[in-house]
């Protein structure tokens, strides 16, 4: 009896399982839903604030439309991965999402992004966007696929107190790499417990290693990473070896953090949260967004940062023109190619990026504005003491080659820096291994020797 009952129960259970699996999805609700995917971390909530505001504004103006905000809590690398996985299938792809500028081209290639040209034509705000920033949203076919939220630059951030204590006159304006080493050695000699000059290295810091360290070096030499005209990757570059050698000097002479600290993915938190505010670090290369961590409401509030910190351009190798180097990235908003409501999705994007929302976001996350009406706003200019300095660096800035091969090349560069600072390879050897790696990634035909 009992066994029979058991059998019947499992039969029913099995049937129920099969039936639920086969039953069609619930009919679409009458209200339309827009799914918005973006990044949110405990130290980066500005974007969440932006979308919350845009959601309210948009839902009030469009009855019957629900905006579903789906923040992803992850660092840049993991966010990119999760987003790409979601985009792979139309059933999980978001309608609007936060997209890194250097991924735009490869994601357009993958067919993930909707071409926005026809929508942009009817959007009068589009004219207020900076022409250089607009280029970040271009696909290989010349169409625009993404709208920039803001951009950034990179510079040397130094603690005036630490430099002054070591007898360095401030404002500090290094003209060559040698100036950096001289000053760093001076700081080291005056107080051995201070980290004189930090530059990221190794794979743990990911894009931070290249954007906030290696490329400032490389683009200040006569060499470059990628020949954009020929569409070829540069190998055998003497500037590449020189840049690695500079990092080696910094780490070997203990002018930067220890290699073990550099290979901890959380090292940047210590730079912003502990070493600079506590006067334990002389200088570091970091982005224009640095004040967002220190200002009121940031994750490492530091009331005196405006007086204590100074900012200066990263110098070129021997002081050659244009006298400074910076790297720019930045993020955009894009519309999913498979969205069911392209018009509504674009309308939401336009709401999120209107003057009011852009202004609030650019201030909260210390981004460099890409809308002229935001850049001209008094509130934006007074947002932090460094807005003017870091905005001027746009004149000497560089962008990463945004090809589909780039992430792998970037990883090869990071690997080279890691091998050099850990002492596993000499700069020459690491550079040669990088060349081999690049040829393996893109094929010998797409490289050019310099």
Partner 1 sequence: MAVSLGRDRSGHRRRRPGLRRQARLLPVLPAVVLLLVFLAGPVLWAFHASFTNAALTGRNARSPGWIGLDNYARLLSDPVLPLSLGLTVLFVGGSAILGQNLLGLTLAVLMRRARRTVAAAVGTAVVAAWVLPEIVAAFAAYAYFSRDGTLNQMLGGLGIGQTDWLYSFPMVAILLANIWRGTAFSMLVYRAALNDIPGEVTEAALMDGAGGWQRLAFITIPMIRGSIATNLMLITLQTLAVFTLIWVMTAGGPANASTTLPVLAYLEAFKFGDIGYGTAVASVLILIGVVFGAAYVRLLREGKP
Residue 85 interacts with partner 1 (CB under 8 A)? yes
Gap between the Cα atoms of 257 and 407, Å rounded: 25
Neighbour-count burial of 227, counting CB atoms closer than 10 A to its CB (0-12 exposed, 13-18 middle, 19+ buried) = middle
180 three-state secondary structure? helix
Residue 248 interacts with partner 1 (CB under 8 A)? no
Residue 7 interacts with partner 1 (CB under 8 A)? yes
Beta-carbon contacts of residue 433 (< 8 Å; ≥ 6 apart): 416, 419, 425
Q: Which of 313, 255, 333, 389 is nearest to 94 (CA)?
A: 333
Q: Which two tokens stand for residue 143?
A: 């169409």
Q: Which two tokens stand for residue 274?
A: 């502990």
Residue 381 interacts with partner 1 (CB under 8 A)? no
Residue 103 interacts with partner 1 (CB under 8 A)? yes
136 or 370: CB nearest partner 1: 136
Site string (203-232) toward partner 1, x via CB under 8 A: xx----------------------------
186 or 203: CB nearest partner 1: 203
Indicate the DSSP class of residue 309: E
Residue 242 interacts with partner 1 (CB under 8 A)? no
Gap between the Cα atoms of 167 and 145, Å rounded: 51
Sole binder of partner 1 in the list 71, 132, 143, 259 (CB under 8 A): 259
Burial 10-19 (b: 16+ CB within 10 A, else e): eeeeeeeeee
152 or 418: CB nearest partner 1: 418
Residue 443 interacts with partner 1 (CB under 8 A)? no
Number of residues that bind partner 1 (CB under 8 A): 38
Burial 47-82 (b: 16+ CB within 10 A, else e): bebbbebbbebbbeebeebebebebbeeebeebbee
362 or 414: CB nearest partner 1: 414
Q: Where does this chain touch partner 1 (CB under 8 A) — which range of 107-115, 158-166, 217-225, 368-376?
A: 107-115
Residue 13 interacts with partner 1 (CB under 8 A)? yes
Q: Where does this chain touch partner 1 (CB under 8 A) — which range of 171-179, 180-188, 350-358, 405-413?
A: 405-413
Sole binder of partner 1 in the list 49, 407, 429, 446 (CB under 8 A): 407
Q: How far is the CB of 301 from partner 1 (least distance, A)?
A: 22
Q: Which two tokens stand for residue 148?
A: 């920039």
258 or 318: CB nearest partner 1: 258
Q: How far is the CB of 216 from partner 1 (least distance, A)?
A: 23
Residue 373 interacts with partner 1 (CB under 8 A)? no
Gap between the Cα atoms of 94 and 4, Å rounded: 48
Q: How far is the CB of 100 from partner 1 (least distance, A)?
A: 11
Q: How far is the CB of 77 from partner 1 (least distance, A)?
A: 7
Q: How far is the CB of 163 from partner 1 (least distance, A)?
A: 26
Sole binder of partner 1 in the list 48, 57, 76, 109 (CB under 8 A): 109
Gap between the Cα atoms of 272 and 291, Å rounded: 9
Q: Where does this chain touch partner 1 (CB under 8 A) — which range of 29-37, 80-88, 173-181, 343-351?
A: 80-88
Q: Where does this chain touch partner 1 (CB under 8 A) — which range of 202-210, 220-228, 286-294, 376-384?
A: 202-210
Q: Provide DSSP, 268-308.
A: HHHIIIIITTTT-EEEEEEETTTHHHHSTTSTT--TTHHHH
Residue 418 interacts with partner 1 (CB under 8 A)? yes
With the C-alpha atoms ordered 368, 372, 373, 377, is the resulting torsion angle positive or negative?
positive
The answer to whether the CB of 377 falls within 8 A of the CB of 371 is no
241 three-state secondary structure? helix
Q: Which of 177, 211, 173, 179 is nearest to 397 (CA)?
A: 211
The answer to whether the CB of 104 falls within 8 A of the CB of 146 is yes
Q: How far is the CB of 392 from partner 1 (least distance, A)?
A: 34
To which residue do tokens 């505010």 refer? 277
Site string (131-150) toward partner 1, x via CB under 8 A: --------------------
Residue 18 interacts with partner 1 (CB under 8 A)? yes
Residue 73 interacts with partner 1 (CB under 8 A)? no
Indicate the DSSP class of residue 424: S
Residue 10 interacts with partner 1 (CB under 8 A)? yes
- Residue 264 CA, chain-centre distance (Å), reads 18
185 or 408: CB nearest partner 1: 408
Interface residues with partner 1 (CB under 8 A) are 7, 10-11, 13-14, 17-18, 77, 81, 84-85, 88, 103, 106-107, 109-112, 202-204, 258-261, 263-265, 404, 407-408, 411, 415, 418-419, 422, 424
């Amino acid at each position: 009896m009992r066994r029979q009952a058991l059998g019947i129960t499992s039969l029913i259970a099995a049937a129920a399982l099969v039936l639920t699996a086969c039953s069609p999805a619930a009919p679409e609700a009458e209200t339309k839903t827009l799914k918005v995917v973006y990044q949110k971390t405990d130290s980066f909530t500005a974007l969440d604030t932006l979308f919350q505001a845009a959601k309210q504004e948009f839902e009030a103006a469009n009855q019957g439309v629900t905006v579903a905000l789906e923040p992803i809590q992850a660092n840049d690398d993991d966010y990119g991965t999760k987003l790409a996985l979601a985009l792979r299938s139309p059933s999980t792809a978001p309608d609007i999402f936060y997209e890194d500028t250097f991924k735009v081209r490869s994601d357009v290639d993958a067919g993930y992004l909707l071409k926005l040209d026809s929508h942009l034509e009817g959007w009068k705000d589009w004219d207020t966007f900076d022409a250089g920033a607009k280029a970040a949203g271009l696909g290989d076919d010349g169409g625009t696929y993404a709208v920039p939220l803001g951009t950034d630059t990179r510079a040397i951030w130094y603690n005036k107190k630490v430099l002054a204590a070591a007898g360095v006159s401030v404002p500090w304006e290094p003209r060559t790499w040698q100036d950096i080493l001289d000053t760093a050695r001076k700081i080291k000699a005056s107080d051995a417990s201070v980290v004189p000059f930090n530059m990221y290295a190794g794979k743990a810091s990911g894009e931070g290693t290249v954007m906030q360290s290696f490329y400032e070096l490389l683009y200040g030499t006569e060499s470059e990473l990628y020949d954009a005209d020929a569409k070829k990757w540069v190998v055998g570059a003497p500037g590449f070896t020189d840049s690695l050698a500079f990092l080696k000097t910094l780490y070997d002479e203990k002018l930067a953090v220890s290699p073990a600290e550099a290979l901890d993915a959380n090292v940047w938190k210590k730079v912003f949260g502990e070493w600079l505010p506590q006067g334990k670090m002389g200088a570091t290369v970091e982005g224009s967004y640095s004040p967002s961590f220190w200002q009121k409401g940031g994750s490492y509030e530091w009331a005196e940062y405006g007086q204590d910190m100074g900012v200066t351009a990263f110098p070129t190798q021997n002081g050659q023109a244009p006298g400074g180097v910076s790297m720019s990235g930045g993020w955009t908003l894009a519309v999913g190619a498979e969205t069911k409501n392209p018009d509504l999705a674009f309308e939401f994007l336009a709401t999120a990026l209107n003057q009011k929302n852009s202004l609030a976001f650019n201030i909260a996350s210390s981004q460099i504005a890409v809308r002229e009406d935001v850049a001209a706003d008094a509130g934006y200019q007074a947002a932090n003491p460094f807005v003017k300095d870091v905005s001027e660096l746009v004149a000497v800035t560089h962008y990463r080659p945004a090809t589909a091969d780039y992430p792998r090349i970037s990883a090869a560069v990071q690997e080279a820096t890691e091998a050099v600072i850990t002492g596993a390879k000499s700069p020459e050897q690491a550079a040669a291994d990088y060349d081999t790696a690049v040829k393996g990634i893109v094929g010998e035909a797409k490289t050019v020797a310099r």
